[in-house]
Structure 1
Amino acid sequence: MKFSTEEILELTTSTGGLFAVNSLLEAELFCKKLATSHYENFPVGSLLIPEKFRKHFFSVYAFSRIADDLADELIQYGKETQLAAINDFEKLLFEKNFLSLPKGNPVFTALHQTMKESNIPPEVLARLLVAFRMDVNFKRPVTMQDNLDYCHYSANPVGELVLRIFGLWNQTTAPYSDSICTGLQLANFWQDISRDFEKGRIYIPSEIMEHLHSSAKDNLQVDKNIGNFPATIQYLCKVTEVYFASGETLIGFLPYFRLRFEIALTIEGGRAILRKTKRLGSTILFQRPSITGFDMLIIFVNALLRYSIFWRKYGK
């Protein structure tokens, strides 16, 4: 599903404008159609997700998709309009009587039901909107902590949402989940270096590039003499792997087989991206690493091994 800018703005209203629905079922079908028409890393509708939970993944995805559109598709209207639209979108999260409206926004009708059934505080979803505001007001990170702060809003809530939907968010699982999600966001940063350069963005902290004497300049002009940039990539991937290693213990604390394997696949997919990124070295400035069919086979095998190891060690 592709929306015009006017349609995107309609979905920031309580009624949903042209997309208004009369029932929860209509809202859930809208979210399912939206979610299954896009490919993302978020495991929407995966066969590894039990059917009873899929509607909740669809509603959370629909929320994230529209929020992303507000940050990316309204650029021509200027930052003020983008931020105002995100603020309007956020207000609907905190609408207490949303499910009692005779006609409603399909995304929030389904989402409020998910929040109710899965005990999801609106503040968790609101953190995602903070990240989209940061995208609109992009500032290049100076330190790695700047990137980690962004991950706190952009990535970590996704893991919390998944575990809350399964009823598994607690003090034990939370730190492992955050580590995995942070690792995935960082891996995505390094994977997308060539794309982000074209958009005028660098997510590599300037402090790290200066320390390693890389020559990808602040003005995004990269000359043929790229200095120590390969060492920068190696370092970034090494730092990122630490988060996957810290988080993979989560697998042993998940009682659902399919969720355990989904998480194992997600981690190994992130590691595969890191391996590809390291191999590309300086070429990452001009080429985005991608996953092949053979890579998927390796990911599947590695996920089985990780699943087996951590379930034997921690599983109950």
Structure 2
Amino acid sequence: CGAGGSRRGGDVMPKQEKQVFRDTIQHHSKSFSFASSLIPGDARRHVEVLYTWCRRADDAIDLAPPEAQDDALAGLRAELDLIYEGGPSDDAMVVAMQDLVRRFQIPRTYPDELLEGMAMDARGVAYTEMDTLLLYCYRVAGTVGLMMSHVLGVREPEALQNAVHLGIAMQLTNICRDVREDWARGRLYIPHDLLEKHGGRALPAQLGAALSLQFQDALAKSVRDLLDLADVYYASADTGLRGLSWRAALAVRAARYIYAEIGAEVRKKNYDVFRGRAYVPKSRKYALGLKALGAAVLEVPFRTVNRFSRAPLSKALHFPGDVLILESDG
């Protein structure tokens, strides 16, 4: 692959490496793969590089045995040092990320926070309060939205907050969809204070066990509340879509519709997350893609008058002040 600086003059990544990044998205996230296919040319490749690095980092932690997870995290932090320092590397992923962070000036704090979110999983953090869950959502998904904003470009820095909110909304949706799988793995992301509100105070101590009807009801009501919260963050994300280019907004809106539809499928099951994993059929994804296209067409008059240009993004956002929606805001 050559030294880290050997490709900095332009986009000359071999076709085989590009296909590896694209295949990673298609394998791990059908929804994200569908949405990213709407992004044109080089922008799509840049998105695929970023997604693949995030996926690789997550797998490095998630697939490592518990006793090796600290070493895996240390290795990822060392890899980030190499990425941001721009040193020589024979790793195609590192070389691609070196180009990406330099080209789009992605603040180091974002991938650092992403790794901290993965460390929360490795440590088995107990989500006793909603604020802890929102911190987790910011770290593992909101930061990805921020990095994607640097890659895709936004009209004004204020749109960064909307990007964070979309990431948080999507992660809340994922958590609600995956309760059954996480439960079997001994993980519970639903905040304990929310469970207690619905009579499920003893639920965390039951992890992995069969649930009584009482606890199933508490879990269902908690999932309902989390999906309602996700809707608040989706609504904020919607207000920032005009801050993207037309094609980028089309792709992001399609992803937003598809992820929100996962939440709608959970609702159709009356929030009973143990009845099977909610998913969006391919035919429905195409329909939601058309819905996103319709919304994009309605924006044409605005975009004709207000031509898109990238704003400089010099200030990094930080949790919680730049990120959370306060109750008074909603």
Match of 2:259 among 252, 270, 278: 270
1:168 is matched with 154
Deviates more, 1:205-214 or 1:275-284: 275-284
TM-score (norm 1): 0.82
> Structure 1 residue 153 and structure 2 residue 139: aligned?
yes
User: Aligned-pair distance for 1:286?
Assistant: 4.6
> Structure 1 residue 231 and structure 2 residue 221: aligned?
yes
CA gap of 1:304–1:36, structure 2 versus 1, over 3 A, is: same
User: Aligned-pair distance for 1:109?
Assistant: 1.0
**In 1, are the aligned partners of 2:220 and 2:273 still within 8 Å (CA)?**
no
Q: Which amino acid aligns with 1:150?
A: Y
CA gap of 1:263–1:80, structure 2 versus 1, over 3 A, is: closer
Match of 2:114 among 128, 143, 150: 128
1:94 is matched with 84
**In 2, are the aligned partners of 1:196 and 1:202 still within 8 Å (CA)?**
yes
User: Aligned-pair distance for 1:229?
Assistant: 3.3
Q: Which amino acid aligns with 2:151?
A: I
Distance in 2, Cα, partners of 1:30 & 1:77: 32
User: Aligned-pair distance for 1:240?
Assistant: 1.0
Q: Which segments of 5 or more consecutive residues in structure 1 lack a partner in the other structure?
A: 1-19
> Structure 1 residue 187 and structure 2 residue 173: aligned?
yes
Distance in 1, Cα, partners of 2:35 & 2:271: 36
User: Aligned-pair distance for 1:192?
Assistant: 0.7
Q: Deviations over 1:215-244 (max 9, x none)?
A: 772122242413443322222211111110
Distance in 2, Cα, partners of 1:274 & 1:173: 24
CA gap of 1:84–1:222, structure 2 versus 1, over 3 A, is: same
Secondary structure at 2:240's aligned position in 1? helix
CA gap of 1:299–1:85, structure 2 versus 1, over 3 A, is: same
**In 2, are the aligned partners of 1:32 and 1:55 still within 8 Å (CA)?**
no
1:9 is matched with none
Distance in 2, Cα, partners of 1:109 & 1:77: 29
Q: Deviations over 1:94-146 (max 9, x none)?
A: 32x42xx3x53211111111112112223222222111111211212112211
> Structure 1 residue 63 and structure 2 residue 53: aligned?
yes
Q: Larger RCO: Structure 1 or Structure 2 (Cα < 8 Å, ≥ 6 residues apart)?
A: 2
Distance in 2, Cα, partners of 1:90 & 1:233: 35
Q: Deviations over 1:5-35 (max 9, x none)?
A: xxxxxxxxxxxxxxx5465345784354144
2:23 is matched with 36
Distance in 1, Cα, partners of 2:300 & 2:126: 40
2:44 is matched with 54
Q: Which amino acid aligns with 1:223?
A: L
> Structure 1 residue 199 and structure 2 residue 188: aligned?
no
Distance in 2, Cα, partners of 1:211 & 1:201: 20
Give me the identity figure in percent: 20
TM-score (norm 2): 0.78
1:73-92 correspondence to structure 2 within 5 Å? 73-75=63-65, 77-92=67-82
Q: Which segments of 5 or more consecutive residues in structure 2 lack a partner in the other structure?
A: 307-330
**In 2, are the aligned partners of 1:276 and 1:289 still within 8 Å (CA)?**
yes
CA gap of 1:115–1:242, structure 2 versus 1, over 3 A, is: same
> Structure 1 residue 117 and structure 2 residue 103: aligned?
yes
2:237 is matched with 247
Distance in 1, Cα, partners of 2:271 & 2:246: 40
User: Aligned-pair distance for 1:289?
Assistant: 0.3
How many residues are matched?
292
